[in-house]
A and B are shown apart, each in its own frame.
Chain A
Amino acid sequence: MTASAPGTRTLNPARLTRIGAVLAIGVVTPLLFPAYQSQATELLLFIVFALAWDLVGGQMGYTSFGNVLFVGVGMYVAAIVQVGLYYDVGLYNEAKGGGTQFVFDTSQFLIGLGLGLIAAAVAAGLTAFLLGPLVLGIRGHYFAICTLGLGIAAGQLAAGIPWIGGGSGMLTPNPPASLGDVGLLLYYLALSLALACTATFAWLLSTRFGLVLNAIRDDEDKAEAMGLPTRRAKIAAWVIAAAFLGVAGALYGNQVRFIDPTETAFAGATIGVWMILMALLGGKGTLLGPIVGAILFQITKELFWTYLLGWQRVALGVLIIVVAVFFPEGIVGYARARSRRSEETP
């Protein structure tokens, strides 16, 4: 669905009930299913990845293969802030974040995390703001490959900087035992992020901004010829998506604890392409699509990892091919087409 028709954005009782139900499920899940907590956290972060990709790729038509750039920037900047507030980052990485030397108490950990998340958003957004004018003038598949290059180059560059751990990567701070279940904290942070992301994008797409993005996607030259502020809209969309990707990356880094420059932070061939797959699977260019796609993807990924161990990456590669070739409209797109066909039959 493209920008929703104005006037349908009221909070009627049905809508409120739906939102309430989602909230309730979200809040209660880790308490009911503690064994799946980390997968659920990962799912929430994937939802943010997919939504953020879709804002620029699905709604605006600029299909980026290098959004991992912002994920990685957020991940590293947050870790640097979390560590750097209390210790020398270089020394920390030389010692591979040794547990006994570099201890973080509860307040240090929490303050570090909080400031780290903010720094992640700012750093990622700033990166997008600086690169946007250069790269958003490029269109179509050239943009796709250019961003692919950016994402991978960033990973290679990061792997060459010893200060942040170089090729051996970096550990996020050890959560103190006195904090309790850090996983639960990360879960609720991820939940808040996913909700904030969905709400923000729902709002954005209900304004004229959403119309401008769709217009750029459908015919950028026409949009320019109608006087729409395309350049600024493109940069704005990229910066907004980047900020969310950065925060999600920072949370992801704290969840997996170990940040490898090319496998975790700037993982072009995994997370980078997964977010595209998720948006496509659910239905790109819609608000619900990336969310549905992320859920489906996460389930599929868990199934592959469990039953196809050893060949799971191959299976995911095959899934990418199958979805791209046979199912590019995704579930929401397929449902729309079916409902339209049923409308046409007398």
Chain B
Amino acid sequence: MTARHLSPDDGAARQRAAAAPDGLRPTWTGRLRGRAVAALPPDKLLPDTQPAYVASWVYVFGALTLAALAIVVLSGAVLALKGPAWWHVSSVGLFFNSVHLWSTELFFFFMVVHLWAKFCMAAWRGRRRATWVTGVLAFVISIATAFTGYLSQQNFDSEWISTQAKDGINATGAGAFWNVLNFGQMLMWHIVLLPAVVGLFVGIHVLLVRRRGVVPPFADDRAAPSHEATATDDGASAAGEGQPATTGSKGAWQ
């Protein structure tokens, strides 16, 4: 176990990454690259170390959620290749539908465990509120995505679920524009629009996790009373009394 302290100068890193080789003013592309590299340098994006407190199996559920999502997308792509009626008439199609179903079930199981674990850690602390918000949004939109999948099955389940669900959605006024009885509309939402939004939020969520890092533990309240601490305006960090404020000073995992 080795200690490692990095304090990258974001501004300098950004300038280096954006600099045009001929010394001319940086292009938009160069500036974009500069910002991206400063926000997520390679050792943040693909780290090979992590804080010592990350030592619980519960941390694996984030990666398990992503793995299940990948299988959901891959099995859905196979079903899309052959069209919506294929799995009703082919044993191979039925198997891929089963893979799609069970990967969805596991995706939600892993995601809910991940969400509750992050709740228990108050994982929004220290400029990680956007990480929490995008994670919950990914969860909520995943529910809508799965729901439209159930509506697109073309069997008794989809019939029953759609005729039951219409009352709730119609009561909100949304049914006037989002008709759960319209198979074509629900299928397009299921395979195009909603997966794109889930992918967007999951992508942002993962990048934020890499950028902000895993939330540190609460201070040990069983230890001797801690010194008074302060936080910077952006809530990024806190320092003990007499120590320098640490805005922008983040370890390799941050």
A binds B: no
- Partner-A contacts on B (CB < 8 A): none
